[in-house]
A and B are shown apart, each in its own frame.
Chain A
Amino acid sequence: MTRVCRTAFIALATTAIISPLGSANAEELTVMATGGAWQAALRQAWFEPFAKKANVKLNEQEYTGELGKIKAMVETGNVPIDLVTVETSTVLQGCDAGVLIRLDYSKIAERSKFLPGTALDCGVGIDVYGDVLAYDTTVLKEAPTSVLDIFDTKRFPGKRAMRKAPAQNLEWALMADGVPAADVYKVLASPEGVDRAFKKLDSIKKDIVWWEAGAQPPQLLASKEVVMTTAWNGRIQNAIDQDKRPFALVWNNQIVEYDMIAIPKGAKNLDLAYKYLAYAAEPEVSAQLGRFIPYGPVRADATPFVPKEVLPKLPTAPDHMKAYLVSDVEFWGDQGEDLVKRFNAWLAQ
């Protein structure tokens, strides 16, 4: 909260001071991201170096990652932001709704240099993260060996936390029910497959605490509200490295996802926004984020620039890629709304 307040205050104060002077003297770029440890890492890795290099003033805003706020900006014709970070599934939704612009990759970087699925029409990937399982080593006597252990209430009794969304949870439910990773989305595309996934989730429903913001899983573990939780790997790793928490990560059966950055329709500083995208896509630059939060770059040719001590902590480290699933963006674009409704109906039962 304090950070939000401070950012809001600084933003207000700066607009109050800057606007009467006119914005002619220095170019400005406004980026909106989802806050927390992640945005702090973005600031150190990319925002501040870019502002210095391009000699611009870079303003930051925070939001919850939901497109409603951007849609409201676009519909009222008042778009005070130039760049916004979004999740992969949200990019597709924003693209369809005409909220995000279709990117001109000739102004960014060669599209083929990006990992498959990270250079989308309306959004370009900025990092690779993993949906993993996390637990407190002082609480669990026996260490879980796979994310799917979250479904095992016999070996691991107690409350467990999962993200309040159908994405990832349905995939894990099917895998825990014996579906091979390669067939997960094929099975999930059929009504019987969806029933099967929900039936599996039913078996642990009364033990689930649902989280919504990425900062919640470390909190839930720290307050001992749950014995294990699904989480984004970076949030837990930072709690281990910086707050010295006795947490551990389980990588087996992780789901690999990408964070994206996009330009909202009606952005005022379009050229500067593209300049930023081109800068952050440079191999050496794109590897910098790993120094501040263990998320990997979205270009294979950036890996040599990732600091050695960070590599084993990344979702793409060889040790972590023994069993994994890549989230299917197209599937969630198609079935997302329906499955969210079904998920909400299931929660309400």
Chain B
Amino acid sequence: MTSVAMPAFSVRGRDRSESLRPLALAAPLLLLLVFSFGAPIVALLSRAVYEPTIANALPRTAEALRADGGAGVPAEPVFVALAADLKQAQAAGAVFELAKNLNTRLPGARSQVLRAARLASQNQAASKEAMIKAAPLLGEQQSWAAIRSGVHPFTSFFLLNAFDLKWTNDGTIGAVPSGQAVFLRVFGRTFLVATIVTLATLALGFPLAYLITRLRPAMAALVLVLVLLPFWTSILVRTAAWTVLLQKYGLLNDLLLWLGLTSDRLELMYSRTGLIIAMTHIQLPFTLLPIYSVMRSVPPSLMRAAQSLGARPFTAFWRVYLPQVIPGVLAGCLLTFILCLGYYITPVLIGGASDQLISNFIANYVNAELNWEMAAALSFVLLASTLGLYVAMTRYLGLDLFKMG
């Protein structure tokens, strides 16, 4: 009986263990990815929609606002509840963080909230009149719209703000004032710069890749090394090197003047032109290498065959050669485009004030403003648009980066 049962069991067992073995081998890597890569990203991005500081600090006010039910400046009980909340926040030392978070939604609220809390903790501001006297902003409808949305820990404030939108007083979504609208323009600029750099690397990389496939192996290796040499240098070093070349009294301007090509020194530093030159140089290998790897696999005999069958050189290139290398072109361009979307250090060092890309704004919110919620919202929009682009490319153009090579 065992002799019959055993083989069946062992076959099934081997099946399962064979399918599990690769997974078990990859498990450490998967765990590492989940815990060191996935989890922090999710935790940080969740800040874009979850911001509980105000809700935690103002529980009584939230309760009173629910009971009040109105839309404008609420009645007396809400102010009494707010005074009690502020008193407790002051005692617990939480009032500063509350003031800072309210200030993000309600510019100028910081000092007024601190003053109101100070008075409340001395029991001098327990009525609506006294509270409004301490913090005049509390007498305005827009302030209460901000507080009403703030007492919900889940918020759409930051994501809307990433699109230059906000909730208006009457509960609809509207544009922020033109003086505050910045992010749509910056996203547009990021995509524009990425597109220009991608096209420039393609224009430079395609002919060069073709040339390398035609060279004798020794020469081809040499040219490839020349292309790759800057690739092995830190991006910071390459960017710094460009500042030496591009500056007003730098080598490039000296050369152009000496050659008589320009009559005046060009403003290449702190300009869009300089930024695109430097980014194109840094990105060139990323576009070139996938194109080159595909070109190498195309037999030269195909072009000769096309021509011997009567195709003119351009037709042979267009109808026979190009369709075979297009996956490489798309892969190279997609790679460069996606990398360009996240550029940070090159715009900082070479770009002017109006050439800063979305990463620079994210960095500013993380490092300088300590507004990680806004940084998370902008990162989310950037990540979503990048993933969307990747999905669109793989689905509609039949390209898969993971199957390249």
Contact = CB atoms under 8 A, between A and B. Distances in A.
Contacts of A322: none
A64 B108 contact: no
Contacts of B93: 98
A340 B270 contact: no
B353 A210 contact: yes
A24 interface: no
B182 A334 contact: no
Nearest to B360: A344
Contacts of B371: 337
B361 A344 contact: yes
* Contact residues on B (Cβ < 8 Å of other chain), bracket: 35 or more
B110 to A, nearest CB: 5
Interface string A81-107: 000000000000101111100000000
A72 B367 CA distance: 9
A344 B364 contact: yes
A171 B289 CA distance: 52
B354 A223 contact: no
Contacts of A67: 367-368, 370
A291 interface: no
Contacts of B87: none
A96 B368 contact: no
A223 B248 contact: yes
Contacts of B366: 68
Interface centre among B182, B348, B361 (most CB of A within 10 A): B182
B182 A341 contact: yes
A288 to B, nearest CB: 31
A209 interface: yes
Nearest to B182: A345
A97 B370 contact: yes
B353 A66 contact: no
Interface string A338-349: 101110111111
Contacts of B367: 64, 66-69
B182 A225 contact: no
A154 B108 CA distance: 37
B361 A93 contact: no
B354 A349 contact: yes
Contact of A334 (B96, B104, B111): B111
A225 B367 CA distance: 28
Contact of B96 (A69, A97, A346): A97
A333 interface: yes
B352 interface: yes
Interface centre among A67, A68, A95, A340 (most CB of B within 10 A): A68
B303 interface: no
Contacts of B369: 337, 340
B179 interface: yes
Given A96-B97, A98-B96, A225-B248, A347 B356 contact: yes
A71 interface: yes
Interface in A64-80: 64, 66-69, 71
Interface in B261-291: 267, 269-270
Contacts of A338: 103, 107-108
B185 interface: yes
Interface centre among A96, A223, A341 (most CB of B within 10 A): A341
A14 interface: no
B376 to A, nearest CB: 13
Contacts of A98: 93, 96-97
Given A208-B353, A341-B182, A344-B182, A93 B370 contact: yes
B186 interface: yes
A340 B364 CA distance: 10
A96 B179 contact: no
B181 interface: yes
7 contacts: A95-B96, A97-B96, A208-B353, A209-B352, A337-B369, A347-B356, A348-B354
Interface of B: 93, 96-97, 99-100, 103-104, 107-108, 110-111, 179-182, 185-186, 189, 247-249, 267, 269-270, 348, 352-354, 356, 361, 364, 366-372
- Top 3 nearest A-B pairs (CB, nearest first) are A68-B367, A338-B107, A66-B367
